[in-house]
Structure 1
Amino acid sequence: MSATTFFQLGDRAQKLKKILEDFVEFECIPADEVYLSSRGKEGSADRWKVIPPLLEHLKSRAKSLGLWNLFLPSYYPESPGLTNLEYGVLCEVMGRSHTAPEACNCGAPDTGNMEVFAKYGSAEQKKRWLVPLMEGKIRSAFAMTEPAVASSDATNIETSIVRQGNEYVVNGRKWWISGAGDPRCAVYLVMGKNDPDNNNKHKQQSVIIVPANTPGVTIVRPMTVFGYDDAPHGHMEMVFKDVRVPLENMVLGEGRGFEIIQGRLGPGRIHHCMRNIGVAERALEFHLLRITDPARKAFGKTLSQHGKQSFDIAQSRMEIDQARLLVLQAAHTMDLHGPKAAMNEIAMAKVIVPSMTTRVIDRAIQAHGAGGVGQDFPLAWMYATTRTLRIADGPDEVHTIQIAKNELRKVQALREKHHKQEEAEKKFAPKL
């Protein structure tokens, strides 16, 4: 029984899911290897200059099939009207392919950035940046993480945003800025401190718009993930040196940075988790096909006839379904009560899903032997990208601490309940 049995999808979402499944399975997945191999040799400078035309073909197909901008929040007039739960289910399907999220204009970090512009941007900011992002004409990046501080605590961010006359001046160094290497990346949303002396440490930060061609912006180098550079998307180290932008580039207002990133990251974490479950499902499929291949026998039996492999398959299935239910519950809670009410479920999903997926992929790698860590199968790349999700959007430790704090807040109410139980027990105790 599928997890979506318990969380019913509307008729339109079910129809979209079927169309998307066919698009992903028979157009995006077959295109993945062609796309990845067409970027040129790993480490080549050309990898950051050319976007394979195949991707534009897939984007045109997604538009024609009605699969474009499915993520768009309900508060935006052109929203497709999907709930977080419904879009989460579609995210899982897109997660099965490398090209599918971007083909549907539903890839990170653009989705989160579009939500920032849609929810917090001025009319002019929406016109200049949101519209071309929605049309897929440009891409974007969110510049928050820094190399010199523990960025898991965003109050440590040191990049400065200083007002000088009718401009803001931005100075700082950022790294692991996803999407900044893409030649189509036209705009950065930069988080920095404009009021470092504010007594409220969560009111010191702001988010400001920096066009990619602004003087003083330097891409230092691409950061690799277990040796993968993810070109042409990339995860870049950047320097902002005396970068000047007009006052109207401030998003929402000074000191509103934390408000913006919390509004951005809640839904984004659910999207990451659901895409990652799609990765886990595909890894399990590779595992199943490998161990049942009649041409591959060990000691006279297919691998599936050895007890260890059957155990691993069962373990992967149980873990995937458990994780999916948790993520769908988080999405359902968001739909009913908003992201803030779902913080605990979102945090738990963010910890559990990437760890689960790495275990599932690892079992599939083991079943493939040396092939599992090589380039003939996508498992090594899947493992590398999934492992980063235990760090991206907040490391496991930060979310785990928050989950513990939420549980500890229940202690006083628990003590009061147990006290009442003890008093009630006395009424039933035998008299001495």
Structure 2
Amino acid sequence: MKLGKISLAAAALLSANLYAIDNLDVSGSASLFYGSDAITYKDSANQKMFNNESSYADLGINVGATVDLTKGVTAGAAFQGVTTLGGLNNVWSGAHPTTGSQVDPVGFFSEAWIAATYGKTTAKVGRQELNTPLVFTSTWNITTNTFEAAVVTNEDIPNTTLMGAWIGTSNGYGDDVNQADNIGNVTSVNGKFNTFGEDNAYVVGVTNNSYAPLTAQAWYYDIRKVAKAYWLQADLDMDGVLAGAQYVNVNSDTDGDATDSAYGLMLGYSMKDVGTVKVAYSSVDDEGTFGVANYATRDQGAGAGSSLYTEMWWWFGTVSQAGADTIALSAETTVSDIDLFLGYYSCDIKPTGSVAGDNNSVDEIAFTASKSFGPVDSTVALVHDRFGYKGGTSTGDMEDYTTFQVYLTYNF
């Protein structure tokens, strides 16, 4: 028998179940994700949609539990599992291990934490999700990345939330995330947790909405031996008018690496019972080295989304690159209880720093339709990307890419 280690937070949760079952709250979801791509290549054979080579699928489960240990003290844990049921070898999650050409099922504890609240201060320690502009849990894939961290929040100042965090490890960052035949690395193989950055990281942030229509936030990051960064953002939502501004600066700790900076602007209008339209623009400094993607999945290419207003619906890792100028247009509405979304994104990438010469462009059109049937959430997506090459190299030299995807999630 192989014995596994269990974290202190998980042990506390299990022992709490023995005497506090009435306070136990269990919830979760079971998901089936399917996708298929058609690709036109510049110099090789094209790929057709709806065959074994062009399709990918995964069946996943996420079960979470929280329990009140005593007054002001709560513990929680979450388990993620994913399998192809012996089907396609092309999958969504990077967590799958492989045996030869066989993609194996996998399960891991993504959360195991204890939280204590005193007055308006809460401390949460253990495996958990994080949601900050430059370090966050990506939720688009069938498995998600989490962190082993200690987080403290305080709300003693009116209309203000202060947050400080120490991040020790993450299962979306490190050497074990490069799993072949998956569509986006946001979770490491076997859900393994690796040291965050080269050592660990510190994050402090403040969010304020003293003027109710306006939310302002400021964040500072010290990712030890990797980079220091700050993110400033203000968002207005007043009488249906939406407006926002972002600025980010990332200063690498490695000699020879250039500083990355970017800004984003957004303007939109939301009419009740009709819909919402938005236009956004972002620009990333063309002399940078790494860009301004999520540092939790920064090195993972397609998994590295960003918090920029212009982030594409599907082709992540583009608008946040050094030298990327992007415009985004989107509209969403609800018709017969079906939520409809249409987005257009146009990105030109012209870096002059350490990645100079990789001058490309990506244009994306994304359409989604979503509807809930009781506890079942469903989404159908159709996305088309067009790539332009103006020098430099490209992965596979794709010219056109079209993907059709189906998301089904049963919530319990």
Band of TM-score, shorter chain: under 0.3
TM-score when scaled to structure 1?
0.26
Q: If you compute each CA radius of gyration, which structure gives the higher value, 1 or 2?
A: 1
Q: TM-score, normalised by structure 2?
A: 0.27
Bigger helix share:
1
